Amino acid sequence: MHNDIELIFSPLQQKYTENDQTVEVCIYRLPDSGWTLEVVDQYNNSTIFDGEFESDQDAFDLFLSEIREQGIESFIGLAPGVVVH
């Protein structure tokens, strides 16, 4: 079955680099919904924030707040094939 739902992407969506590490900040929504915030690291690990945001700016502001409080490392997952014992 083919899904014809089109996502709307925010102009605030971007790659963000700090301390030589880069993540992709994805902010998107369905036509009749709030904004979703997703952060993807260089290994394709994804962090999706719970809930919807009223505006794309609210979503981006939360991302920046998390970066200030936790650092970009909080969004970086394990490389493929790495096993933690």
What would the pLDDT profile of 28-38 be if each residue is shown by its tens digit?
Answer: 999 999 999 99
Q: What is the pLDDT of residue 13?
A: 97
Q: Which two tokens stand for residue 67?
A: 């970066």
Whether the predicted pLDDT of 1 surpasses 80: no
pLDDT digits (tens, 9 = 90+) for 36-68: 999 999 999 999 999 999 999 999 999 999 999
User: Domain residue spans in the chain?
Assistant: 8-75
Whether the predicted pLDDT of 72 surpasses 60: yes
- Structure letter (DSSP) for residue 42: T
At a CB cut-off of 8 Å and minimum separation 6, what does 55 contact?
35
Q: Which two tokens stand for residue 60?
A: 């981006």
Residue 79: pLDDT band with limits 50, 70, 90? confident
